[in-house]
Amino acid sequence: MTTPTRSPQPGDDDDHKLGPTRVRDLLAVAVVAGLVFWILVRYNYGAFPSLPWPAGVTLYVLALIEVVIGVLVRRRVAEKKIGVGAGRLHPITVARTVALAKASAILGALALGGWTGILVFLLSRRELDAAVADRPAAVVGLVGGLLLAAAALWLEHCCRAPDEPPPETGDTTAEPA
């Protein structure tokens, strides 16, 4: 018995195209990461060293770098300096920048969720001095994850191709002289 095969339909290629990162997907990643980290911290908090408050500062640095890259890409796109040549933004560079933005958005969502899970645990342990001392680090990390995810989404937006100009609607018929 043979399995019937489906012939390609006109819109099938659209299913495999890379689209913009969806915020709901990032929220799902953050929720799962938050639950995982909350469980890990809940059962292993005593085995962890104290959290230094600069632990999440790297996320701020990455977010700042992505904002700077976004400004540069946006400027080149606005000036129509895209293509091959000196002083132009190569299309492959834009594609790599989109990949960076997508990966950073996921990293930001993971950090946001992870630090949120840790903070929820720490807030529930008010009687522990160590938990109170670890809260600033969790807040710094949580905000850093949020900033990184937002910067990555903005960078991805900056890499979008400019809108096509509207087609000219001039009359193509020749007037008799």
Q: Which residue has the tokens 């400027």?
A: 75
- The winner for highest mean pLDDT among 85-94, 130-139, 165-174 is 130-139
Residue 82's DSSP bridge partners are 89
Q: Does pLDDT of 176 surpass 60? A: no
Is residue 73 a contact partner of residue 95, using CB atoms and an 8 Å limit? no
pLDDT of residue 168: 63
Distance CA 103, CA 69 (A): 15
pTM, to two decimals: 0.80
pLDDT at residue 120 in the model: 95
pLDDT the model gives residue 118: 94
Q: What is the pLDDT of residue 16?
A: 63
Instruction: Name the 3-class secondary structure at 82.
Output: strand
Whose tokens are 């993971």? That residue is 110
Supply the pLDDT for residue 11: 55
- The rounded mean pLDDT for the chain is 85
**pLDDT tens figures, 73-114:** 999 888 888 888 887 888 899 899 999 999 999 999 999 999
So where are the chain's domains? 74-161
Q: What is the pLDDT of residue 7?
A: 55
CA 109 – CA 23 distance, rounded (Å): 10
Distances (CA, A) of 58 to 31, 63, 82, 157: 21, 9, 31, 23
User: pLDDT at position 58, please?
Assistant: 94
pLDDT at 65 over 60: yes
Task: List, for residues 10-53, the tens digit of each pLDDT value.
Answer: 555 556 677 889 999 999 999 999 999 999 999 998 888 888 88
Mean pLDDT of 164-171: 55
